[in-house]
Every structure is written in C-alpha cells, then in structure tokens.
Structure 1
C-alpha cells in the first residue's frame, strides 16, 4: 500500500530561517563606560552574537590600556581614535574616520552597518557605508537637542535637530525605543522610523538582591526610608526637583536618606546642597543591582530621556517608581498600579506624590510587587528578534534597489579624516 503524497503545506508552513549576518556595529560609547546607550548596545551586541551573527564592534579607544581583541567569540573589536568629551573626561567620542572605515569595510565587507550614536565616528560610518553601498540602520538614543537648553546653548537646538534629521534620514531605518518618540520625530520630518524597545535583565535586577548589610553601611535602620535615583549627575536630569522632593519628605520623615548612584558634573553641587545624601559614584553588575534592591522608593525627575533604562531596572528590582509621563515610564507604568506618573512640567505635583508615597509603606510594597510583575514581561529576547528583523529589512531595501542620498555634513562636523584613524 503506497503512502499518501506529502502535502506541500507541511513544508510551506515552516517559516524560512533567516541567515546569519555580518554586522558592523558602530558606537562612541561602550562598557566599561556607564550610561544607558553603552549598556544597551552591549546587550544588543551580545544578543546578536548569541543568535549566530558575526559582529564587528567599531568604537573609540577608551584609554591607553584599551587593547584590541574579542569580547566573546563572534565579536571582533576595531578600536578607533577618540577624544575626551568636555565635562565628561571619563567618556570619549570618536574622530572623523571615513577613510579608515572605507578601507576596513572594503577588506571585511559587512552585510549591514548599524550606527548607535550620531557623533563624528557615527557620521564617518554613515558616509563610509553609503560610499560602499552598504545597508545602514541607526538608533535614536539620546535627546541631544533637548540637552542644549540645560547648558546655556538653547540657540543650538534647531541646528542640532537639523543635523540629527539629516543623519537618520540617510539610513534605511531608524530605531526608536517608544511609540511616543516615533510620533514626535515623524512630526518634525524624520523618516523610516521603527519602534524597537529595550529589555531588562530580571535575574540581575531583582528584589532578591536586597542587602541588610549594604543598608547598614549607609547608616540606615531596617525601617528607615531610602529614596533612590540612579543616573548621570547632570543638569539635564532635572535633579533640582529631586532635591526639592527629598527636602519635602525629610520634613515629615527626618530619618529618610537620599541615595544617588552615578557621577557627573553636578556631584559637588549636590553634595553641598544635600550633605546627608549617600553619593556612591558609578556602580555596575551585582553591586548596582544590590543598590537598587536595597532602596525603598525610586524618584526619576528627568524630562530628557528617549527611554530611561533605570526605570525598567528599578521596576525589576521591586521598587515603586515616580516619574513624569514620558519615555519608558509612560510606556510601562500604570499610575496607581505599577507606580505613579505625573504630567510633564507639573513639578509641584511630583513633590506632592513623592511625599505621599514616602508616608505609605503598604502602598509602596504593593506598587513594587506589581512593578516587578510588569518588568518580567519586558524581555530582551523579544527586543533582539525585532532588532534582527530591522537589520534584514534594511538589507532587503538596498537589495531591491532603493537608494538614499546623504547630504553634506553641517559645517560643525566637517573636517578631514586623519591619515590613520585606527
């Protein structure tokens, strides 16, 4: 008796496996530098490698001891020249390097170039990729145009936005972390925008890492309130409002303490204004996770985030989060359920809600539990699948014959490439 012929549907229903890619990732910040962009791109690079892709990481050399090599199998680092960033000497930015990148990618041609930052190295990568007709994807990760008002150069807001628009519109796609940011950028002329959110490591960031020993080092008793904020100590983070909220809390709860994890140009000013604050400097890994989990309330007053990784890290750590209704907080926090949101610009309301949460331990506990449950759904795996799909779509656009013209760089970014940038 003959077996029935197999149905073609039995084959056609299986999705075609996407081939592994050679991906050149270009970024001007990377661990051990500590900031949201560095940590996110590191997770993307690691995830791409784990998913079977070959990754070439192009970044500035961070110091004299920073040598070439592989972070892990499948990730090859190419270190370029870099310069210290004004007011942030521990961070470096790339220098114009188009010639070096054309030479590199002519010899080791990637399938796609992904550019995470829009500085001189990113601009050089964009032009080198277009010169070689390579597909390009980009990230919009930092609100540089919004930062300008905090440093006395608000008049640069429009030129900066014009530069960013030129930069990203020359890519096959630009990935943004939230739908709200996608709408905002589309309204001012940005094209080919796709939402690719960010995940959180819920094993690393967990209430299980709460440490009585660490709290004792801070000089707080088990029932004392620790109000935390994590991030760069800089004007664009709206830390004046944080200090105002903490002062109002201290009026009602004199034993409460403010925990600030991070560093930056405002450190001395904050120490002078709030001498009892616990300033820990930058923390990473398990140490950072213990600092989150050992606090009781997370206040995040920033209005300049594109996402704000600290929001998800705090939620995963079981902390109730008070933030403005924007960026990751708007996407992840349901006010009164997983935390509290305040309308942007409502500083008095932010202080009022902070005081209310400080005086309600049972409410904080409930919000923290629900925040943890919400964070558990914010997996990196789903983010990586979406990111990978955007890379394949960028490649397909170029393969189909779509072309884009790169406009000349603004005068402030135009300069000759050094003879040897590697």
Structure 2
C-alpha cells in the first residue's frame, strides 16, 4: 500500500499570488512541497476561484463568513475549519505571520495536538517605543512563540533580535533563489551598450526604494567618488527604484541611469549585466536582491546585517562591511569599494564564489529545509535555541 503523503497547512492573512510564484517566498515553498508530492492546505481569507485549480494536491480553505475584500477576519467561530480538520488533519501547520486568523488557527491546532510553526519573515522590530509595537513585541509574539514548535526567521541577525524578546526555539530559514532563472549566462552586451558601458568597464547597481531609510544616498555618493578616482574609465551605475526623494537624488547625482520600475522578467538580465551591487541598507531585510545578484555572478557590497551577514563571506563571496558600533561607516564602505575597483582579478574571483554560494540556496534546498523543520519531532530541550541550517 502506498503511504499517505504528508500534509502541511499554510495560514496567511495576505494574498498568495499562485500565478506569479517567483514573487514570494511562500509561493516558492508551496510550489516546492507540491513538486515533492506533499499535500498542501492553503488557509487564507483571500482565496480566489482560480486558486482551487492551481494543483490537484492543493486544497484552498477560507472562512465562509469572510469575503476576499475583507482585510482582517473577525474574531468569530472557527468551526468551519474544525469540522474539516477532524476529517482531514494536517501533519503540521505553518502560520506565515502573526494575525487574527493565525491566532484562531494556532489555538485550534494546539487543541487538536497538531504541530505548529510560526514565521516572522515579514515582521520588523522598528519603533520599539510605540505602544502598539510594544504590545506586539511583548505579548503577541511571545504567545505565538509559546504555541509553536519553531519560530522561523530569515537570518542570524534577526534571530538575535527576537531572542532579546525572550522568544525560544528560533530556527533560521534564509530566502532562496531560482538559480536557473538568475544566472551569469544572461549577461547582455546589448544591455550594457544601452548603459554606455564597454566590455571592461564596471557597471554598479542599486535596487530598492530611493529613501533615507535604505541609505541609497551612500550608494550614489560611492559611485560619484569612483568616477572621480577613475577619470579614464567609463564606469556606469544603474539605480532601480522609486520614492519621494527620487527627483532630489536625480538632481544631486546626475550621470546615473535611473529606472523607476523594472519588470520582474527583466531582472535576470539586469543583474547578470551588472558587476557590483551596492546595498548600504543597515537594516538587513529579507534580501531577495542580495541572493539573486549573487546567483547572477555579481559582487554584493553591504553592511554585515541580514542577508549580507547570512550569505556573504567577506572578500570571498562579496564584501560584508561591519557596522561601527551599530552606526553606518560611510567612509569605510566607500574605501572598500574603491580598493575593489583596482582589483579585476579579485572581482572575477568573488563573482565565481558568489554564484557557488547562491547555488546552495536554491529553492529546492530551502524547501527541503522547511519541510524538515515542519515535520521533525518537537525539540525536547531549550538548550539550543537558535537552529541554523546545515550545509
């Protein structure tokens, strides 16, 4: 008799674009599990009619009293799911982020003795002195953590942040990458010509919001100093993003190719056609662009936080610049990039190592890590409170 495939329930309060699976981590994980033969239950107030036809092993469940236009579910009975789970219980439940529907499902799963894992990938700990933020940090997050076998975060840096809130059983699951879609083979001489860059010129790249929070001005100032130091070179910079400071930055830093929005279908070619990605954001967020650039064979330069700290070995697979007591050291950032520009052999070596590192973060590998965390027995001891992936 063929054994019954494992079933994992996914709970999310945000729409899941199943027809655009390359856009979100959750979609990649769901696709990977379905490809490996697991059964998936998607529980969300934003289920669409076409979602039910996405895959035969995917079951879409939504509260009957919630319409797809409702932003948050009401605190009402969850009997619609209770009845279903009594007949079709999952082996484990993943709550993608703390929410009202997540709170309901976590209570139900604990009542039915179903293992629960919580994710904090999209959660930031900004504004700790705000009363609502304080309430979430010290009441909501610990409650979800207490009901969960693991709480997943995306980097060692964020694990340490959440550990300061006395959260236990933290496990790291880094963002993955489609290493076939993002690859050096998509380097385009035609695109580089549009940027007016010759074969041996360096193309610098910045991707993200054009605002002070993401420290974009340091990236643009770095490139301006590079042009001053190498007047005989035709190094170029491409800045992809938009924001309220966009017009001011364009006026302050001319001679840069500004692109307010690049279709996702063009990103592999853009990354592969660049040479150095400047990411001076010190917050260290999910870092999709970090791992995608590395897979494309690009040198990533950033501060030692989040995805940069997680994936980059300094001077081997990129430049990971320590923060000076938590503060951005702009001069060190600029000096490191300037020194690198004088070492074409070093750039070539880092590009190769970046690609090799990204291959170990392919979505297939990340999905297998996720499944292991979901289905493995609950830890019996709190001694090892931060679990890192084994390579």
**TM-score range, shorter-chain basis?**
0.7 to 0.9
Shift of 1:318: 0.7
Distance in structure 2 (CA, Å) of the matches to 1:284 and 1:69: 25
**Aligned partners of 1:257 and 1:278 also within 8 Å:** no
**Aligned partners of 2:204 and 2:237 also within 8 Å:** yes
Aligned in 2, Cα 1:35/1:70: closer, same or farther, shift over 3 Å?
closer
Shift of 1:290: 0.8
User: Partner of 2:294 in structure 1?
Assistant: 315
Q: How does 1:346-361 map to 2 (within 5 A)?
A: 346-361=329-344
Matched, 1:337 2:316: yes
**Aligned partners of 1:102 and 1:128 also within 8 Å:** no
Aligned in 2, Cα 1:72/1:224: closer, same or farther, shift over 3 Å?
farther
User: Partner of 1:197 in structure 2?
Assistant: 174
Aligned in 2, Cα 1:18/1:191: closer, same or farther, shift over 3 Å?
farther
Distance in structure 2 (CA, Å) of the matches to 1:142 and 1:118: 10
Distance in structure 2 (CA, Å) of the matches to 1:100 and 1:354: 57
Structure 1 portions without partners, runs of 5+: 1-16, 84-92, 401-422
From 70, 75, 95, the counterpart of 1:115: 95
User: Partner of 1:416 in structure 2?
Assistant: none
User: Partner of 2:137 in structure 1?
Assistant: 161
Q: How does 1:195-344 map to 2 (within 5 A)?
A: 195-233=172-210, 235-253=212-230, 255-263=234-242, 267-268=246-247, 270-275=249-254, 276-285=256-265, 287-344=266-323
Distance in structure 2 (CA, Å) of the matches to 1:361 and 1:67: 50
TM-score by length of 2: 0.79
Distance in structure 1 (CA, Å) of the matches to 2:131 and 2:247: 27
User: Partner of 2:43 in structure 1?
Assistant: 58
User: Partner of 2:148 in structure 1?
Assistant: 171
Shift of 1:114: 0.7
Aligned in 2, Cα 1:348/1:281: closer, same or farther, shift over 3 Å?
same
Aligned in 2, Cα 1:233/1:21: closer, same or farther, shift over 3 Å?
farther
User: Partner of 2:33 in structure 1?
Assistant: 48
From 122, 125, 135, the counterpart of 1:142: 122
Aligned in 2, Cα 1:221/1:305: closer, same or farther, shift over 3 Å?
same
**Aligned partners of 1:143 and 1:306 also within 8 Å:** no
Shift of 1:226: 1.9
User: CA offsets, 1:270-293, max 9 Å, x none?
Assistant: 4454453321514324x2111110
Aligned in 2, Cα 1:156/1:258: closer, same or farther, shift over 3 Å?
farther
Shift of 1:392: 1.7
User: CA offsets, 1:106-144, max 9 Å, x none?
Assistant: 325441221112345444543454465543211121342
Instruction: State the SS of the aligned residue for 1:278.
Output: strand
Matched, 1:24 2:9: yes
Distance in structure 1 (CA, Å) of the matches to 2:250 and 2:331: 23
Count, aligned residues: 364
Distance in structure 1 (CA, Å) of the matches to 2:210 and 2:68: 23
Aligned in 2, Cα 1:166/1:284: closer, same or farther, shift over 3 Å?
same
Aligned in 2, Cα 1:158/1:246: closer, same or farther, shift over 3 Å?
farther
**Aligned partners of 1:173 and 1:192 also within 8 Å:** yes
Aligned in 2, Cα 1:104/1:219: closer, same or farther, shift over 3 Å?
farther
Distance in structure 2 (CA, Å) of the matches to 1:265 and 1:54: 44
Shift of 1:99: 3.8
Aligned in 2, Cα 1:164/1:301: closer, same or farther, shift over 3 Å?
farther
**Aligned partners of 2:154 and 2:286 also within 8 Å:** yes
Instruction: State the SS of the aligned residue for 1:69.
Output: helix
Shift of 1:74: 1.7
Shift of 1:356: 2.7
**Aligned partners of 1:23 and 1:110 also within 8 Å:** no
Shift of 1:182: 2.8
Aligned in 2, Cα 1:235/1:123: closer, same or farther, shift over 3 Å?
farther
**Aligned partners of 1:239 and 1:302 also within 8 Å:** yes
Aligned in 2, Cα 1:192/1:280: closer, same or farther, shift over 3 Å?
same
**Aligned partners of 1:34 and 1:282 also within 8 Å:** no
Aligned in 2, Cα 1:326/1:18: closer, same or farther, shift over 3 Å?
farther
Aligned in 2, Cα 1:270/1:82: closer, same or farther, shift over 3 Å?
farther
Shift of 1:246: 2.6
Aligned in 2, Cα 1:51/1:360: closer, same or farther, shift over 3 Å?
same
User: CA offsets, 1:81-109, max 9 Å, x none?
Assistant: 567xxxxxxxxx94135547541353254
